[in-house]
Amino acid sequence: MGERRVLLAPLDPVHDVGLKMVKRALDEAGHATILLPPDLPVEEIVRRAVEHQVDTVLVGRTLGYNVPEELARLVDVMEATGLRSRVRLGVGGMAVRPELAAELGFDRGFGPGTTPAEAVAFVEGRDYQPPAPGEGGRKPDLTAGYSYRVHDPGIARTLETIAAGTVAWARERTTPGVERARIRRQLLAADPGSGAELRQEYLTHCDPRIQAFYREGVPAGRTRPLRREEILALESAAGARRLEPLRLRHRRSRPAVFVQYGTGCPLMDIAHNRVGEGWGADGLVHFDPSWSARCEGLMEGYHTHEEDGSLLTLENLSAVGAARQPWTLWQVRAHRGLNTPETVVLAAAAGADLTKVNMVYGSLGAGTDPGRLLVDGVECLALAAEFGLPLDVVTNEELCGVPAAKAFAGMLIVAAIAVHLGARPLLQPLFCLSPDVMVNGQMDDNFLDYNAAKVHALRAIMDAPIWPGAPIGFLTHTEDRVQSAVTTALHAALASSLDVDAITIASTDEAYSGGAIAAASRVDTLRATAEAFRFFGSAGMAPTGRAREWAGELVEAIGRILEAVLARGTLEVALYQGLLGGPGDGAYPGRAGRGTVSRR
Amino acid sequence: MKLAVGVAGTAKNTGKTTVLRVLLAEAAAAGIPVGLTSIGYDGEDLDHVTGLPKPRIAVPRGTWVATAQTALRPELEVAESTAVETAVGRVALARAVRPGRAVLAGPATAGGLTEVIARLHRRGARLVLVDGAFGRLAPMTAADGLIIATGAARHREPKLLAREAGAIATLFRLPRWPGDGHPRLRVSGPGGERVLPYPALLDPAWADELAAEAAAVGAREIHLPGSVSREALGRLGSQLDGPLKLVFSHPLHLLAPGEPLAVAEALAALAGRGFELGVERGLSLLAFTINPRYPVRAGGAYQWRAGDGGRLLAAVRQAAGVPVSDVVAEGPAVVWAEVQRLLGRQ
Ligand code: B12
C-alpha cells in the first residue's frame, strides 16, 4: 500500500473535530495529510488540492444548513478543473448521509458514527470490512478452554460419587419421555412415510391431547397449523439478507449476550430475533409454552401458538434456526418438563448450538416429579454429549426462595453428571434480587457484592464457563422502561467486569408486559447494554470486601450441602427431602410425571 | 443517431425531475428507445434535504436504466455491472421488465458519465436522458444537448432569473475553436509557448504568473482550461493587452463556480476590450424550463409556495435567446421539439 496524499478540508465555519480524528488515523497509517483551516472558499480548497498534488480530498461538514449548495459547488469546480478523474472525493459529518453524498457527486459519504478506519479504507481504495460479529463471523465456542476440574479434592470426590451413583440409578430406569426420545430418533432416521408403526408406538407414551392431534388432527393447546402462505414466508425468511449488526461489546470479547424469544408464532420469532441480532445480540434462547412441559409428547409440523411460548416441533425449530445469522448461537431449552430428552433430539436435528438442562430446578421449582426428571435428565445429558451440544445449568429455583448455596449445590451436581457423561456444561448463576436476598439483606447496600460473590464462589469450586442469567437483573425491573434498561445494563457491566462467558438479558417490558413483548423493548436493553460496555471498556466495577467474604461462605455451605446429599444415598431421596431446597425455601417437589418411572 | 441529453438545474427544486418525466413519456409515445441515468441521486420518495415528496420517475417497459446496484427496484433486471462507483455503490445497467419506477444513483463525474452513456447506447438506447443534481453542471460535458431548469427555487425575482438565464445562454453561444484539449494554462505567441502547472484559473497569483508569461512571449493566444474564478479572471484581464485570443475549455466549466452573471460580465468586459473569446468544446443548449414553485421553511418544515408563472416565463423568454417553457403549464411540446430536432440533426 503506497503512501497517499490527502487534503482534509473543513467546509464549515468552525467544526473540524471529525476531520482531525480522520487525520490522526491517516497519519498513523503512514499517509501524508494536509489539514486546512475551516471556512476557506471552494476555489481555495481546489487550488490547494492542485498545489499539493493530492490524490484524495476529504471534506468535513457539520452544520446542517446550506450544506448542499457549497458542497455541490466544490464538486463541480473539482470536475471542471479536471481533478475528478484522478482525485477521490469524500465528505463526512453530522449532516451527511450516503444518498446526499451521491446526489452531491462525492465518491463517498461518511455520516455520524463513522470510524476513522472506514475513512482510511476509503483513502486506500479498499472495501471497508467492519469487524465481523461472533468469532470472525463464526459462532464462538463458549466452553472452549475449560477443564471442568474441581479444585478441592474433597468436593471433587463427593461430586463424582453423587454423579456416578445418579447415572447408575437412572440407567436402570426408563420413562415415557426416554422412550419417546428413542422413537423420535428412529422416526427422524426413517424414510418419510414409513414411520406408521413407530408413530403408533410413540402415541402409547403420549398424553391424550397429543394422541388426539396425531389421530384426529386436533391441535393441542391454543395452537393452529400455519397456512401455506405463512409457511412460504417462513421459508423465504431463511434466505433473507445478512445483517450488519451494531456492535454490542466495546473492547472485551466477552460476554456473549443472549436474548430470549418465544412469541408463539415462528414468523414473529424470526422478526424478533432479527431485531435482537441487528442490535448486536450474540445468541437466541427458545422459549416453549409452559403447558407443553406438562404434557407428554410433542406435535409435528408448523404451528403457531396463541399465547407465549413457541411450540417445539422440528419444523418450527428448523425454520427459526435457519433464519438466524451464521454467527448467532441458538439455544433450545430442554430443562424442566416431561419432554426433555425428546427436546434435545429435536434441538440437535434442527441445528441448535446449545441446550439447557437442570433436573434439580425442574423438579423443585418447575413442577416435575424429581424421580421422573432425574431419569429424563440423565438421558438428556447423555444425548447432549452424543450430539455435542453444550448446555447451561440454570438455577431458577433461587426465584422460588431457595438460597444460592443450595441452588449452586444442585447446579454443580447436574454439571458433574454432565461431565461424567461427556457433556460440556455452563454454570448459570442468577444475577438477581432473589427472595432469599430480599429477606436476608445481602443486597440492601448494593447489587455488586453478592452477584460477584456467586461468580467467585463458582470459580473457586470448578473450572467451568459461567453464564449469568437468565435474564440478568431478575426482580430489579419495574414498569418503567428506562429504569429497566439501566438496571439490565448495569448488571451486564458487572458481568463483563467479572469476565464471565455469557449473559442473558430481558427486554424492558418482559417482567410487566402481561403478554406480548414489543420489539422496541428489546432494543432498549441491547442499546443500554452496549452503552454500559462502552462506558466501562476494559475497566471494571469494584465490589467491596464483602464479595470475597460471601464467596467463602458460599463455598463452605455448598461443601456441607453436597456432603449431606451424598449421605442421603440417592439424589432422588435428597430432592424429595428438601436438601437442595424444601418447602421452607419455597421449593416443592413437583407432581407432573409422578409414577411414570419404571425399571428397565 | 444516438445521443445524450442532460437535464440540469440552476438549483435544487427547479423542476428537473418533472422535465425528465415529460421527456420519458414523449420518447415512449414516439417509440424511441431510452436510456436513463443521473449524475446524482434522484427518484426517492422524499427529498432528503427538504423532506418534501418528490416526483417519482416512472419508467416504461424496456427502458434501460443505469443506477447503483443498491438502488435497483424489482422491476429492473440487471444486464451488466460496471466499474463506475457512486457513494451508494457500483453502477449497473438494468432494463425495466415491466412498467415501474426508478431510483437513479448514477456516475458523478464526466468520465463515469461518458462510459455509462456509451454502454447505454450499446444496449440500444437511442436517447439517453441524464438527470442533473443540485446546480451541478460540469459532468454534463459528456452529453450532446442540455436542458436547464431554472425557477423560483433559485431566485424569487423573475428579472434576476431572466438575466441569469441570458448570461448562461451567452456562454453557450461562444464560438467553438476545437483545440488539443491541453489540461494546463498555456500562452503562445511569437516568443514561443509556455505552459504553467495549473489546470484552471483559480488563484489571482496564478493569473499574475500567466500574465507575466504572456508578456514574455508576446502572447497571441491564451489557453484557459477548467474553471475560472471571477477574481483571477479580472486580475488576468487587467494585465493583458493587444489583439489576443482567450480559449476556454467548455461553457460548463465556466459555469462550475455557480456565478453565471459574474462570469458573463467578466467575459463581456474582456470582449469589450477587443479580446476574442471562444471555447474548445461545447454542447447545444436546447432550452430553459421554468418552475414558479419553490419550497420555504415554515415552522420547522418545508412547504411549497408559487410565484407568478406567467411573469416568470415571459421574462426568461425575453432574455434567453433559446426556447423557454413551463412544461407543467404548457405541456411538453416546446422542449420535446428541441430534443427531436437534435435527434434529427445528428
Ligand atoms: C464542538 C462543537 C463546536 C465547537 C467546534 C470546534 C471545532 N474545532 O470543531 C464550537 C464551540 C466552535 C462550535 C461552534 C458552533 N456550533 Co457547534 N457543536 C459542537 C458540538 C458540541 C460537537 C461537534 C463535534 O465535534 N462532534 C464530535 C465529532 C467527532 O462528531 P462528528 O462531527 O459527527 O464526526 C463524526 C462523523 O460525522 C464523521 N465525520 C465528521 N467529519 C468527517 C469528515 C470525514 C472526511 C470523514 C470521513 C468522516 C467525518 O466521523 C466522526 C466520527 O464518527 C456539536 C453538538 C454535538 N453534541 O454534536 C455542536 C453543533 C454541531 N454546533 C452547532 C452550531 C449551530 C454551532 C454554531 C453555529 C452556534 C452558533 N449559532 O454560534 C457555532 C458556529 C459559529 C459559526 N461561526 O458559524 C449545532 C449544529 C446544528 C445543525 N443541525 O446544524 C450543533 C449540533 C449543536 C446544536 N445542537 O445546536 N461548535
Instruction: Please give the CATH topology (third level) of the domain spanning A390-518+536-587.
Output: TIM Barrel (3.20.20)
Which among A386, A302, A292 is positioned nearest to A344, based on CA atoms?
A386
Record the cell numbers describing residue A93, joined without a space: 459529518
Residue of B nearest to A51 (CA): B198
Residue ID of nearest Cα to ligand 1 atom 68: A63
d(CA A582, CA A575): 8
- Say how many Å lie between the CA of residue A11 and the centre of ligand 1: 12
CB-ligand 1 contact for A39 (6 Å cutoff): no
* Span of A144-158, A366-380, B44-58, B327-341 with lowest mean pLDDT: B44-58
Instruction: Give per-residue burial for A468-484: e unless 16+ CB within 10 Å, then b.
Output: bbbbbbbbbbeeebeeb
Residue A77: which of B85, B108, B256 has the nearest Cβ? B256
Q: Facing residues of B92 across strands?
A: B67, B81
Query: Is a pLDDT exceeding 80 seen at residue A5?
Result: yes
Q: What is the DSSP letter of A7?
A: E
Interface test with A, best of B38, B41, B208 (most A CBs within 10 A): B41
Q: Facing residues of B135 across strands?
A: none
Q: Facing residues of A259 across strands?
A: A284, A505
Q: What is the mean pLDDT of residues A358-386?
A: 96
Length in residues, chain A: 600
User: CB under 8 Å to A510, separation ≥6 — which residues?
Assistant: A260, A471, A477, A517, A521
Phi, psi of A209 (to 5 degrees): -65, -40
d(CA A74, CA B17): 23
Whether B188 and B182 have beta carbons less than 8 Å apart is answered as: no
Provide the chain A residues 220-279 that lie in CB contact (below 8 A) with chain B.
none
Return the sign of the alpha-carbon dihedral for residues A188, A191, A194, A197: negative
A72·B202 Cβ contact <8 A? no
Per-residue pLDDT of A537-580, as tens digits, reads 999 999 999 999 999 999 999 999 999 999 999 999 999 999 99
Phi, psi of A217 (to 5 degrees): 75, 20
CA distance B338 to chain A (A): 26
Q: Tell me whether residue B51 is exposed, middle or buried, using C-beta atoms within 10 angstroms of its C-beta: 0 to 12, 13 to 18, 19 or more.
A: exposed
pLDDT at B346: 53
B109·A105 Cβ contact <8 A? yes
Residue A43: which of B133, B253, B257 has the nearest Cβ? B257
pLDDT at A340: 96
**Neighbour count for residue A121 (Cβ, 10 Å):** 16
Interface contact B48, partner A, CB < 8 A: yes
Return the sign of the alpha-carbon dihedral for residues A420, A426, A427, A428: negative
A47·B203 Cβ contact <8 A? yes
A:B CB pairs within 8 Å:
130
d(CA A396, CA A360): 10
Record the cell numbers describing residue B253, joined without a space: 466549466
Q: A5-131 and A175-241+255-384 share one CATH topology? A: no
Q: Facing residues of B288 across strands?
A: B148, B324
CATH second-level architecture of A5-131?
A: 3-Layer(aba) Sandwich (3.40)
d(CA B78, CA A184): 47
Interface contact B12, partner A, CB < 8 A: yes
d(CA A240, CA A247): 21
pLDDT at A310: 94
pLDDT at A295: 94
First-to-last alpha carbon distance for chain B, in angstroms, is: 6
Per-residue pLDDT of A404-462, as tens digits, reads 999 999 999 999 999 999 999 999 999 999 999 999 999 999 999 999 999 999 999 99
**Neighbour count for residue A165 (Cβ, 10 Å):** 15
Question: Strand A303-305 to strand A223-225: parallel, antiparallel, or no bridges (unpaired)?
Answer: antiparallel
Q: What percent of chain B has pLDDT over 70?
A: 99
Residues from chain A contacting residue B41 (CB–CB below 8 Å): 99-100, 102-103
The model's confidence at residue B135, banded by pLDDT at 50, 70 and 90, is confident
Whether B187 and B177 have beta carbons less than 8 Å apart is answered as: no
Per-residue pLDDT of A11-69, as tens digits, reads 988 899 999 999 999 999 999 999 999 989 999 999 999 999 999 999 999 877 777 88
Chain position carrying cell 417445539: A312
pLDDT at B56: 84
Residue ID of nearest Cα to ligand 1 atom 33: A94
A50·B87 Cβ contact <8 A? no
Whether CATH 3.50.50.60 fits A175-241+255-384: no
Report the amino acid identity of residue B28: A
Per-residue pLDDT of A79-91, as tens digits, reads 999 999 899 999 9
Sketch the domain layout of chain A as residue ranges: 5-131, 175-241+255-384, 390-518+536-587
Which among B39, B37, B38, B43 is positioned nearest to B125, based on CA atoms?
B37
Question: Strand A391-394 to strand A354-356: parallel, antiparallel, or no bridges (unpaired)?
Answer: parallel
Residue A79: which of B86, B109, B134 has the nearest Cβ? B109
Name the more confident of B14 and B55.
B14
CB-ligand 1 contact for A575 (6 Å cutoff): no
Query: Is a pLDDT exceeding 70 seen at residue A1?
Result: no
Name the more confident of B308 and A411.
A411
d(CA B79, CA B96): 10
Name the more confident of A134 and B335.
B335
Whether A586 and A401 have beta carbons less than 8 Å apart is answered as: yes
- Say how many Å lie between the CA of residue A95 and the centre of ligand 1: 10
DSSP 3-state of A471: strand
Residue A104: which of B134, B198, B199 has the nearest Cβ? B134
pLDDT at A242: 78
- Say how many Å lie between the CA of residue A532 and the centre of ligand 1: 25
Instruction: Give per-residue burial for B238-262: e unless 16+ CB within 10 Å, then b.
Output: eebeeebebbbbbbbbbbbbbbbeb
Task: Give the ipTM.
Answer: 0.92
Record the cell numbers describing residue B56, joined without a space: 417519482
The model's confidence at residue A130, banded by pLDDT at 50, 70 and 90, is confident
Range list of β-strands (E), B205-271: 221-224, 245-248
Query: Is a pLDDT exceeding 90 seen at residue A227?
Result: yes
d(CA A25, CA A389): 43
pLDDT at B323: 96
d(CA A116, CA A106): 18
Interface contact B67, partner A, CB < 8 A: no
Range list of β-strands (E), A475-595: 502-505
Whether A254 and A500 have beta carbons less than 8 Å apart is answered as: yes
Interface contact B198, partner A, CB < 8 A: yes
